[in-house]
């Protein structure tokens, strides 16, 4: 097969690495890709939102399967565009991608199909939202209704923070049109985890769970980011909880989308919280998670290309997983997720195991020096028989990287390790 991956981040690098292992894949392309992806796939200089350019390339090259990574092209209908040209593509169509594209639609689905989640209200009026927040009190959660690159969520611990965030979203248009409508939610307490699944209609094939670290700084301090690191599996979340999450959350949302006339084919990513009352849904995404994909896909034993083909045919892909722990640490540009500089050279990476490095925002300059081209620059994975071993392996590689213009969290996975120690004591 010839396969095209659409996207340019760490998630797409992880997808390309896994597809490159497949004996079924004879030609692998990525549009537009990044410097690291060029080691695993042939880069194609076409933007992920240039649907005509991408379909023309796929037709000309005889691409057998296209895999779409990011949420923006999915929400804008890239899958419909490919299907209209008779091209095989893995991802939800525009009607189904609304599951991520609109937080209020997603919450309505949870309410209608009795999927456990936080209480909420959606607002298009700043004054109404402000009155509701003042009535509910803090802590409280505010979400931009539309796509905001993983940054449109504020977990406000004080009223001052909640009202300031509301002002940013609705009055100052911090996220543009994405925050012209805002969802205000009850604050959930518990252990957060991510569960992705390959989906075709009502058929749901769950992956291994992962835990992401959203806050920018150590100790879960600082603003929400797109994710500063992740690990899989999660030793302190039982298989019973995962099975319950599939049964009560993933399967009902897949079935509900069919009943709404929006059948979903692709990846459903559930951001979940294990509360005292059991698993509850924080959000649904309509694609592979980032950085969760970077720690989950390396654990997949089954041929990813075969998995995608099987799911598209409505067949059980018979997923098998490696019995190992993987922990990934993100290197980000100083200032991320707010204002940051691009173009700084990334030094010291030659000390890392290159198969463990997944590039997100990188490019090669005219002198062929690797430089940063985004807020999240790359992720380094560590592997081991436990999260503790995987953490040590990841940070051992990360310590050689020059951080004059970059930073990373020093505590990815530490809470899980502490919990494992306390439960064994």
- pLDDT given at position 423: 59
Residue-averaged pLDDT of the chain: 94
Confidence tier at 154 by pLDDT (50, 70, 90): confident
Tell me if 33 sits within 8 A of 43, measured CB to CB: yes
Confidence tier at 369 by pLDDT (50, 70, 90): very high
Confidence tier at 421 by pLDDT (50, 70, 90): low
Classify burial at 162, counting beta carbons within 10 Å of its beta carbon; exposed 0-12, middle 13-18, buried 19 or more.
Answer: buried
**Is the pLDDT score of 425 beyond 70?**
no
- Comparing C-alpha atoms, which of 192, 206, 201, 213 is closest to residue 271? 192
- pLDDT given at position 191: 92
Residue 64 CA, chain-centre distance (Å), reads 25
Residue-wise pLDDT tens digits, 173-197: 888 887 788 889 999 899 999 999 9
The residue among 150 and 110 whose pLDDT is bigger is: 110
The residue among 143 and 113 whose pLDDT is bigger is: 113
Phi-psi region of 291 (alpha: psi -120 to 50; beta: other; left: phi over 0): alpha
pTM for the predicted model, two decimal places? 0.92
**Is the pLDDT score of 297 beyond 90?**
yes
- pLDDT given at position 422: 63
Which stretch of DSSP H or E encloses residue 16?
helix 10-20
- pLDDT given at position 150: 62
The residue among 292 and 189 whose pLDDT is bigger is: 292
**Is the pLDDT score of 151 beyond 80?**
no
What structural domains does the chain harbor? 2-94 (3.40.50.20), 125-180 (3.30.1490.20), 191-312 (3.30.470.20), 325-424 (3.90.600.10)
- Phi and psi of 399, rounded to 5°? -65, -20
Confidence tier at 239 by pLDDT (50, 70, 90): very high
- pLDDT given at position 153: 84
- Comparing C-alpha atoms, which of 64, 100, 329 is closest to residue 109? 100
State the number of CA atoms in the 13 A half-sphere of 140 facing the CB.
26
């Amino acid at each position: 097969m010839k396969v095209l991956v659409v996207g340019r981040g760490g998630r797409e690098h992880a997808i390309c690495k896994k597809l490159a292992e497949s004996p079924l894949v004879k030609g692998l392309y990525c549009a537009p890709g990044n410097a690291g992806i060029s080691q695993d796939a042939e880069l194609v200089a076409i933007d992920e939102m240039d649907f005509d350019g991408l379909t023309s390339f796929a037709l000309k090259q005889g691409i057998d399967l296209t895999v779409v990574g990011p949420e923006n092209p999915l929400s804008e209908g890239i899958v419909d565009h490919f299907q209209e040209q008779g091209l095989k593509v893995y991802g939800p169509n525009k009607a189904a991608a609304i599951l991520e594209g609109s937080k209020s639609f997603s919450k309505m689905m949870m309410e209608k199909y009795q999927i456990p989640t936080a209480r909420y209200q959606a607002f298009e009026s700043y004054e109404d939202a402000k009155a509701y927040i003042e009535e509910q009190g803090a802590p409280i959660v505010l979400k931009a209704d539309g796509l905001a690159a993983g940054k449109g969520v504020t977990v406000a611990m004080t009223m001052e923070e909640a009202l300031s965030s509301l002002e940013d979203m609705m009055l100052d248009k911090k996220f543009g049109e994405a925050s012209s409508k805002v969802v205000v939610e009850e604050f959930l307490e518990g252990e957060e985890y991510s569960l992705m699944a390959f989906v075709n209609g009502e058929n749901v094939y769950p992956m291994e769970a992962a835990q992401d670290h959203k806050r920018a700084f150590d100790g879960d301090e600082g603003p929400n980011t797109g994710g500063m690191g992740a690990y899989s599996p999660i030793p302190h979340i039982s298989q019973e909880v995962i099975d319950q999450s599939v049964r009560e959350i993933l399967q009902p949302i897949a079935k509900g989308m069919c009943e709404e006339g929006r059948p979903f084919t692709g990846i459903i990513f559930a951001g979940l919280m294990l509360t005292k009352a059991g698993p509850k849904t924080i959000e649904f995404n309509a694609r592979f998670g980032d950085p969760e994909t970077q720690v989950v896909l390396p654990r997949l034993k089954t041929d990813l290309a075969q998995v995608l083909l099987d799911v598209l045919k409505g067949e059980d892909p018979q997923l098998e997983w490696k019995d190992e722990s993987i922990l990934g640490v993100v290197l980000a540009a100083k200032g991320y997720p707010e204002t940051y500089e691009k173009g700084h050279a990334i030094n010291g990476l030659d000390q890392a195991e290159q198969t463990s490095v997944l590039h997100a925002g990188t490019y090669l300059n005219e002198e062929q020096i690797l430089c940063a081209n985004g807020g999240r620059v790359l992720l380094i994975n560590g592997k081991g028989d436990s999260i503790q071993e995987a953490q040590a392996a990841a940070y051992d590689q990360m310590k050689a990287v020059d951080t004059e213009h970059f930073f990373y969290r020093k505590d990815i996975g530490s809470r899980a390790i502490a919990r494992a120690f306390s439960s064994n004591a």
